[in-house]
Structure 1
Amino acid sequence: MPVIKTESGPVWLRRTPQASLRLWAAWFVFVALTVWCWLVMTKDTIWYFVTDAPQQAADIGSRMFPPRLSYIEKLIWPLWDTINMATLGTMLGVAIATPIAFLAARNTTPSLMIARPIALFIIVASRSINSLIWALLLVSILGPGLLAGIIAIALRSIGFVGKLLYEAIEETEATQIEAVQATGASGAQLLNYGYWPQIAPAFWGISVFRWDINIRESAVLGLVGAGGLGLQLQASLAVLAWPQVTTILLVILATVVFSEWVSAKVRHAII
C-alpha cells in the first residue's frame, strides 16, 4: 500500500496512481464494450413494438383468465408422457455417463493421454448443447415422438452427471482404495468395495437432481415435436386458445413443484 509523507504525518493511499489509472481504464473499456453490445443487439429493434408491449401483454393476460380447468382431463396422458420422458431419459443418461465419469477421473482412467481427453470431450459436448437443440436434431432424424425426447434428455444429462460424478470419484479417499487393493481384489471388487461406498451418496443425489431438472426440460420439448405437455402447449398456442394455455402452464408448474419436493425428500433420505 503506497504512503505519501506530509507535514502532518504519513498518508496511506488505497492505490498507486498507476493502479488507479489502470482501474479507470478498465472501467472505461467495460462501459464502452457494454454500449457497443447494446447498440449491436438493438440495431434491428422496432421500438414501437417495445412501447406497445405492456398493452399487448395486458390484452393476452385478460384472455388467459380464467383458465379452462375442464381441459385438465386431456392433459393426463401428456403429463404421463412427460414424466416418462424425463425418467427414462435420466436413466439412460446416467447409465451412459457413469462409465464416462470413470474414464474422465484421474484416479480411475486407464489412460491420461487418450481415454481421459475423449471422456472430457464427450462431457463438454453434451453440456454445451441444450436439450431443446438435441430434440430439434433428433426429431429431424427420428421423426416426432417420445423417443426423440427421451434421447435428447439422455444426451443432455450425460454431461451434467458425468462432470459431477467424475469430480466425486477424484475426491475419494485413496487410503480406502489402497486397503482394498492390498487384499488382492479384482477390478470389479475394487469398484464395488473401494469406490462405490464413497461415491454412492453423490451418485444418487446427482441422479435425482438431474431427474428434477429433466422434468422441467421435458415439459417444453413437445414444442419441437417431442411429445408430452409441450405438444399440447404448442397446439393451444397455434389456435390462440389462451385459457387452455393457462391450464397447461398451471399443470407444468404443479409438476415442477412436485418433482422438486420429491427430489428434496430423496436427496435428504440418501445424503
Structure 2
Amino acid sequence: MNTQVPGAPSSWQFRTPQQTLLRWVGWFWLVALTVFCWQVMNENTIWAFVSDAPEQAADIGDRMFPPAWGYINNLWEPLWDTINIATLGTLLGILIAVPVAFLAATNTTPSTRFVRPLALLIIVASRSINSLIWALLLVAIIGPGLLAGIVAIGLRSIGFIAKLLYEAIEEIDDKQVEAVRATGASGAQVIDYAVVPQILPAFWGISVFRWDINIRESTILGLVGAGGLGIQLNASLSTLAWNQVAMIFIVILGTVVISEWVSAKVREAVL
C-alpha cells in the first residue's frame, strides 16, 4: 500500500496498521491459549513419574527380550479371528456405505434438501466415533465376541468409504451420463451403465485401503472384549508377561506389513 506523507517520499507497507494490530492480537491469544493448555496438562501430571519414565521403559523393554517364540502357537486362532473381523467388518461397511454414498452425492441423490443431509449425517456420525468406542457399546449391547468386533468395524467403515465414494461420484464425467440418458435409459440404468463404470476403480481402491486400516484397528478391539489378538494382548498385559507381549507385537507388525503389501498390490492392479 502506498501512503503519501507531506514532504516525504512515498513508502510501501506490507500490512496496514490495522492488519498488523490484528496479527499481534492473534499471536497474543495463541500464546495465552498455549499457556492455559500447559497449565491444564500440568495440573494432573505427576512429574516424578514422568522423570522416571525412561528407566521404566528400559526395564519393560529388557523384560520383553527375548520374545516368547513358543507362544506363537497360541496366536494363530486369535490372528485368524482378527483377519475375519477386519474382512467381514469391511464387507458390512461396504454394503451400507455404497447406497449411502449414492444418496449423499449431489448428482445421484433423489433429494438434495432431505435425503442428502440425512446421508451426510450418517457419514459424519460413523466417522466421529472410533471403532474402539463402537466396540465398547456393542459389547455392552450384544455381549463380547467376534460379532461385536465385526459390527464395530463395519459401523466405523461406513463413513470412511461413503465419504470418499460420494466424492468420486460427484467427480464423474457428466457427458457419459447425458449420453446414456439420451438413449431413454431409466435412472437405474444410467447409474448402472454411466456412473458405476467410472467409479469402479475408485471403489476397489477405497475398499482395499479401508480393509488395510481395519486390520490394524481390529488388533486392539479384543482389549474391550470384541475378539481377536487384543484378547491375548490384554491377558498378557494383565499378567505382566512382557515376553508374550513382545511376541504379540511381532505378530501384529507382521500382519500389518503383509496387509499393507496386499493392499498396495490390489490398488496398483485396479487403479
Into which bin does the TM-score normalised by the smaller protein fall? over 0.9
Structure 1 counterpart of 2:191, one-letter code: L
Map Cα deviations across residues 55-102 of structure 1 (whole Å, 9 max, x no partner). 111111111111111111111111111011000000110110000011
CA displacement at 1:3 relative to structure 2 = 4.7
1:33 corresponding residue in structure 2 = 33
1:148 corresponding residue in structure 2 = 148
Which one is further off, 107-116 or 124-133? 107-116
Q: Secondary structure at the match of 1:184?
A: coil
CA displacement at 1:165 relative to structure 2 = 0.6
Q: Is the 8 A contact 1:165 1:203 kept in 2?
A: yes
CA displacement at 1:18 relative to structure 2 = 2.2
1:117 corresponding residue in structure 2 = 117
2:95 corresponding residue in structure 1 = 95
1-structure distance, mates of 2:246, 2:238:
14
CA displacement at 1:16 relative to structure 2 = 2.2
Structure 2 counterpart of 1:225, one-letter code: G
2-structure distance, mates of 1:38, 1:151:
38
Pair 57,7 (structure 1): closer, same or farther in 2 beyond 3 Å: farther
CA displacement at 1:14 relative to structure 2 = 2.0
Q: Is the 8 A contact 2:146 2:226 kept in 1?
A: yes
1:258 corresponding residue in structure 2 = 258
Q: Is the 8 A contact 2:103 2:119 kept in 1?
A: yes
Q: Is the 8 A contact 1:2 1:15 kept in 2?
A: no
Unaligned runs of 5+ in 2: none
2:198 corresponding residue in structure 1 = 198
Which one is further off, 1-10 or 91-100? 1-10
Correspondence 1:218-257 to 2 at 5 A: 218-257=218-257
2-structure distance, mates of 1:138, 1:184:
47
RMSD: 1.5
2-structure distance, mates of 1:17, 1:71:
69
Map Cα deviations across residues 167-205 of structure 1 (whole Å, 9 max, x no partner). 111111111111111111123321211101110011111
User: Aligned residue pairs: how many?
Assistant: 271
2-structure distance, mates of 1:45, 1:135:
29
Moved over 6 A (4+): 4-8
2-structure distance, mates of 1:212, 1:74:
24
Correspondence 1:1-271 to 2 at 5 A: 1-3=1-3, 10-271=10-271
Structure 2 counterpart of 1:61, one-letter code: G
Unaligned runs of 5+ in 1: none
CA displacement at 1:257 relative to structure 2 = 0.9
Map Cα deviations across residues 32-74 of structure 1 (whole Å, 9 max, x no partner). 0111111112211111111111111111111111111111111
